[in-house]
Amino acid sequence: MTYQYWNPRMETLPRAELEAYQLTKLKDLVRYALRTPFYQKRLHQAGIKDGEDIKTLGDLKRIPFATKLDLRAAFPYGLLSIPLDEVVRLHASSGTTGTPTTIYFNKEDIIRWTGFVARSIYATGCNKTDVFQNMITYGLFTGGLGFHFGGEAVGMLVIPSGSGNTTRQFKLMQDFGTTVVHATPSFLLHVEAKMREEGITRESLKLKRAFAGAEPYSEDTRRRIEELLKIDVYNSYGLSEMNGPGVAFECQCKNGLHLWEDGYIAEIINPDTLEPVPEGETGELVLTCLCREATPILRYRTRDRSGFYTEPCSCGRTHRRLYRITGRTDDMLIINGVNLFPSQIEEVIMSMKEVGNNYCIVVEKEGVLDRLTVKTEVGPDIFMDDARPLNALKERIRKTLQACITINPRVELHESGSLPVSEGKATRVQDNRPKDV
C-alpha cells in the first residue's frame, strides 16, 4: 500500500528531531504560559521564570498537572495569554454546564489546529475529490467547526449537515454523492438501522469512509459498522482542552491512533500515584498543547485511559500510536458523544424542592443509541396517586435537566424511600451499556 502524507516532513521526522522540535515549542509555550495569571504563579513556584529555564523535555515534569477543575477556576480569562482583541474564536467542552472550560484561539492557532485536522483526514486516504458530510454537532463543541475547516483545507467539498435528522442526512448523501462522513460511532450504527428502515440501499450511496470519535467504542463496534455500511472507519480522538479533533487519528493501517507529537506532548501516568507507567502499559493520558498560543495548557490530565504501542507503524509515520481509548479515570459519562458528570444531574434535581433525597442514574442502549434515565424519589409531601401534578413535575424535571445537560433524559418518579439506598460510597450510576471495549 502507498501512504499519502499531508505534511511529509513533519509526519516522518526522525524521533530525535521530533523531540528537539518539541523542546523548542515547549519553551515558546512556557513563555506564553508565563503571561497568564494562572501559570505565572504556578511556574514561578516551580522555579520557572522564562522559557529558557526549560533545558530538556524532562523539565516538563517540574510543571504541575492541570485538571478540569483548575481550568474552571481560571474562568473566564485566567488562562488567556494574549490581548482579547487578538482572539478570534472560543470553544468549550461538550455538555458542560455551570462554569465551562473555555479555550480561546488566535488566528494562527486556528490555522495550526486546522493543519492537524487536515493531516488526520488526509492520512485516511481522503483527498480533494471527496465529498465530506460532517454529521456532528456544530457550535461550541469542537467536532463541528474543527472537522469543517480541516475538510476544507484538504480541498474536499464539505457539507455542514450537523448531527441528527437521519432522513435529511440520507437526502444530502444521495443528492451530493457523499463519500466520507464524520459522526459518533453510535450515530453511525443508528444511520445504518435507519437506512434499513427507510429502504435506502447501500448502492444508492457513494460512501467509502467514516471518521468516528467523541466517545469510546470497541474494535468489534468498528468492525460491525464497517461490515454493515461497507466502509472504512477511522478512529478520531481529541478534546476541547487540546483544541478538539486532530490530536490523535488512525492512519490507513487502522491499528492505533497516531498522536501528532509536533503538536502535543503525551505522557501516560498511573492515576493514583501520578507516576509514569512503564512503556506499553495503560494509564491516564496527560497532554501538553504545543500548538496554541492564546490558551496555554501544560500537562492536562485528560482522564482518558490509553497507552502507547511500542512498535513503529508500517505507514512510515514516526509519531507514536495510542491504543483505542478504553474509558475514563473519573466518573464522567459520555452519552451519545456528549459529556456528562453525574454531579451535574445532582445539582439540578437537588435544587428542586419537590424532589426527595434519593436518586439514581441509569444509562443503557436503546437500539444503538444511548438512553439516559434519571430516577428520583419525590418529597414526602407528594402523593403518588395523583397523576396530574406528578406528570407536570416529571415534565418540569425533564425540561430543566435537558436545558442544563443538553441531553434529553427519561425521568421516573418514585415514592419517597423506595429507591435502593446505597451503603457506603453512593453508587448512583448504573451504566448498563455492553462493556465490549
Binding site for Zn ion (CB under 5 A): 251, 253, 313, 315, 317
Judged by beta carbon, residue 130 or residue 304, the one nearer ligand AMP is 304
**Interface with ligand AMP includes 306 (CB under 6 A)?**
no
**Interface with ligand AMP includes 339 (CB under 6 A)?**
yes
Least spacing, CB of residue 317 vs Zn ion, in Å = 5
Q: What gap in Å lies between CA 74 and CA 68, rounded to an integer?
A: 10
With CB cut-offs between 5 and 8 Å by kind, which of ligand AMP, Zn ion, none does residue 313 bind? Zn ion
* Chain mean position to CA 189: 19
By CB under 6 A, the count of residues binding ligand AMP is 21
**Interface with ligand AMP includes 237 (CB under 6 A)?**
yes
User: Is residue 13 within 8 Å of residue 262, measured between CB atoms?
Assistant: yes
DSSP string for residues in 302-350 = EEEEE-B-SSPPTT---S-EEPPP--BSSS-EEETTEEE-HHHHHHHHH
User: Which residues are 133's β-sheet partners?
Assistant: 159, 181
**Neighbour tally for 203: CB within 10 Å:** 7
Range in contact with ligand AMP (rule: CB under 6 A) among 43-51, 207-215, 268-276, 352-360: 207-215
With CB cut-offs between 5 and 8 Å by kind, which of ligand AMP, Zn ion, none does residue 288 bind? none
The closest of 168, 167, 257 to 212, measured between CA atoms, is 257
Please give the residues from 94 up to 123 whose contact with ligand AMP meets the rule CB under 6 A.
94
Contact residue for ligand AMP among 215, 250, 370, 377 (CB under 6 A): 215
With CB cut-offs between 5 and 8 Å by kind, which of Zn ion, ligand AMP, none does residue 94 bind? ligand AMP
Judged by beta carbon, residue 17 or residue 331, the one nearer ligand AMP is 331
**Interface with ligand AMP includes 134 (CB under 6 A)?**
no
Residue type present at position 105: F
User: Is residue 246 within 8 Å of residue 113, measured between CB atoms?
Assistant: yes
User: Which residues are 91's β-sheet partners?
Assistant: 103
Position closest to ligand AMP via CB? 94
Q: What gap in Å lies between CA 137 and CA 165, rounded to an integer?
A: 12
Q: What gap in Å lies between CA 11 and CA 359, rounded to an integer?
A: 50
Least spacing, CB of residue 332 vs ligand AMP, in Å = 7
User: Is residue 128 within 8 Å of residue 155, measured between CB atoms?
Assistant: yes
Least spacing, CB of residue 260 vs Zn ion, in Å = 12
Residues that bind ligand AMP in the complex, under the rule CB under 6 A: 93-94, 141-142, 213-216, 235-240, 244, 302, 304, 325, 328, 334, 339
